[in-house]
Amino acid sequence: MISITLKGLAKFVTATPAKQRKILRDYKYPKEEGQAMAQYYKEARDVVYSFHKNKRPKEWLMTKANEIRALAAGVGGGSGPRLQNNARAIEQYAQNFSSRKIDILPDLDVSFTTDGVRVKINPDLHVSEGGKEKIIKLEFAKDEPPPEVVKVICQAMFDAAAMNGHKYTPAGVLYFDVARGAEHRGARQGARMKDEIDAALKNIASLWPSI
């Protein structure tokens, strides 16, 4: 089974042919550093989840950010900068999204398989907000994600949820660009983007044996 993440799919859709092959090579022959990158913002995700799950005040987020920053000062190698970025991400979530009145629901897996390619999609948050069920993908990166990548992620999440029997409105599938305080909604791109994603999945299946 060919397996790729949602972000990997988005990067593939928007990449040049040469970069597409590099993306697939990294998935077919995963390296330890690549697996570590997938968990780069683990602390930030865990803190945001706990914040909403336990109905903490905004000040709690800032306290956790300070604790992680203090921890970062005492470690070497790449762990220090990684923890510093997690602290920064928590502070930005506190500034931009901590006022959202969110109730945490059980974790949700909306992964799907098309043309022999499994796209792994596990929303960072499955919530009820204003009485409406929603799934949320959190982007903590310091650099702004490319608009085309955001479009693919939003469309793919929306379509994946529907394939798994979850009939959300566009407002029910959200992508939080935490650093910039921007909220993007699912299914804003329509049929053309869906066709591009479907074509990319067929291309992945075709290229995979030669990688």
Which residues does the chain have with pLDDT short of 50? none
Please tell me the predicted confidence (pLDDT) of residue 34. Answer: 67
Tokens of 96: 């931009």
Helices (H), 112-173: 147-163
Please tell me the predicted confidence (pLDDT) of residue 190. Answer: 66
For strands 125-129 and 102-104, give the pairing: antiparallel
Calculate the alpha carbon distances from 37 to 21, 30, 103, 155 in Å: 19, 11, 28, 24
CA-only gyration radius of the chain, Å: 18
pLDDT in tens, 47-88: 999 999 999 999 999 999 999 999 999 988 889 999 999 999
**pTM of the full predicted structure?**
0.92
